[in-house]
Structure 1
Amino acid sequence: MSFLAIDIGNTRLKWALYDAPRPDARVIAHGAVHLETIDDLAETEWRHIPPPSTVLGCVVAGEAIRRRVEEQLELWDVTPRWVVSSASEGGVTNGYDHPGRLGTDRWVALIGARSRVLRSGRPRPAVVVMIGTAVTADALDADGRFLGGLILPGHGIMLRALESGTAGLRVPTGEVVGFPTNTSDALTSGGTYAITGAIERMHRHLAEHAGEPPLLLVTGGAGWKVTPYLELEHELIDSLIFEGLLHLGQQERFATPPQPLFAA
């Protein structure tokens, strides 16, 4: 039973077709498109892949984007499901003040991280970092409780904010160095160290809370740009969101294809 996982972020839609909804599933096909081009998915990237049996996704880009994606999914006779953040799911307890307001991408990534931690050995705390348009650093204790997390702007947002708020600041991206001596390097280094500093602070908070060093799991499209400058042992993972969707796809309420809204 093939399984299509969809992650609709703030900038891009990522998708992967698996041969089954389970963490060790084989990837049949995958891709990513910018949101400006999602109206062409049925005629381009999805046109020649096998029809999925079930579709499960998460979306942070808003209802209008979700509806446009659903229109493209009419290519197949399948009704998609969309994850909604809840008080508890997939072995994770949601500690947010208002659980439903936690971004679904963060929620699904936490579920994927918990599944990975349990498969790798004994339960351990973990800091779950996503680096993309925005950056999040979330704390997960050894019992699977989400304790809370940080949100900060990604590199692009930081640079655009500085350009719009600082007269004459129009410079190309520079290098990350210890002592920047030009504005380009100063901007790139400042953004990178802001992100790594936040990650390291959350890691320290969780280590003090848990009484042991947590795992540091990093994911997201821009993770590779930042991890070389992390001074902590870490694992860079292609997509914790897909891992979370695969874990959820095993559950009975997601595994059975939903019935059409109106019977024929």
Structure 2
Amino acid sequence: MTFLALDVGNTRLKWAQYDSPQPGAKLLGHGAVFLENIDRLADEDWRDLPAPTHMLGCIVAGEAIRRRVEEQMEMWDFTPHWAVSSAAEAGMTNGYDHPTRLGADRWVAMIGAHARMLKQSPTPRPMVVVMVGTAVTVEAIDASGKFLGGLILPGHGIMLRALESGTAGLRVPTGDVCEFPTNTSDALTSGGTYAIAGAVERMVQHVRQHCGAEPVCMMTGGAGWKMAPSMSVQFELVDTLIFDGLLEIAQERLGTVWDV
């Protein structure tokens, strides 16, 4: 009973195959491709992959991309399933005004982070969960597993492109992060990095005050490593939060949504 997990973002598709659809399953293989290369998955990355018996994915890239991904899986005998936000799932409660409108990637990453925290801490703790990708999200979760709300802000690339398009003369290479930038490249890179770090720090303050306890902070996403040296709050960098969340959801769905 092998399990294929997919994380389809705005830039890349990441996949991982496990020996079973449950937390702690053994990783059999993994990879990533840019969205423009999706149509080669069946002939390249997935050509020699053992046929999965179950699949669950998380996608934010839109309906057209989803159809292209499903076309690449037609060589296997299973029905594709996709995670969607709901009022509650896998130990989490969704406090969004309209729960189904919460981005699936945010919801799945929070489920993965919450489960990871429960495994690590003898006492449940509030959390701040950060995803650093094309966009940046900063989520607040209380100790009971309720999603309190979150921030969305542009990622590094969007910030730089917005400045380049709206400000004459700003066509400069990416610079370094430093405390006192003395050139435009460093000023742009430092400004974007500290904007993200500041949003995380502010959310940590909010959660600490609201919950009366120090939150656990976890960060994920393709650009998470860029933020690590500039963070002033303690955090754990976890590349697999979305895959972890998909495994938690898969375990809960076995015997209900899926035929096993």
TM-score range, shorter chain: over 0.9
Q: How does 1:74-223 map to 2 (within 5 A)?
A: 74-121=74-121, 122-223=123-224
Query: 1:15 — aligned with what?
Result: 15
What displacement does 1:152 show? 0.2
* % same residue: 66
How far 1:252 moved relative to its partner? 3.6
Contact 1:21 1:250 (C-alpha < 8 Å) held by counterparts: yes
What is the aligned-residue RMSD (CA, Å)?
A: 1.2
Structure 1 residue ranges without an equivalent (≥5): 260-264
1:226 aligns with 2:230: no
CA shift, 1:193, in A, is 0.2
Q: Is the 8 A contact 1:192 1:226 kept in 2?
A: yes
Give, in angstroms, the shift of residue 84 of structure 1: 1.1
Q: 3-state DSSP class of the match of 1:42? A: coil
Instruction: Mark the runs of 5 or more structure 2 residues left unpaired by the alignment.
Output: none
User: How many aligned residue pairs are there?
Assistant: 259
Q: Is 1:42 equivalent to 2:79 in the alignment? A: no
Question: How far apart are the structure 2 equivalents of 1:41 and 1:244?
Answer: 23
- The farther-off stretch of 245-254 and 198-207 is 245-254
**Runs in 1 of length 4+ with deviation above 4 angstroms?**
253-259
* Structure 2 CA distance for partners of 1:127 and 1:58, relative to 1, 3 Å: same
The SS at the match of 1:218 is strand
Corresponding residue SS for 1:43: coil
User: How high is the TM-score relative to the length of structure 1?
Assistant: 0.96
Q: Deviations over 1:102-154 (max 9, x none)?
A: 00000000110111111112211000000000000000100000000000000
The structural deviation recorded for 1:255 is: 7.4
> Which letter maps to 2:191?
G
Distance 1:158 1:93 in 2: 32
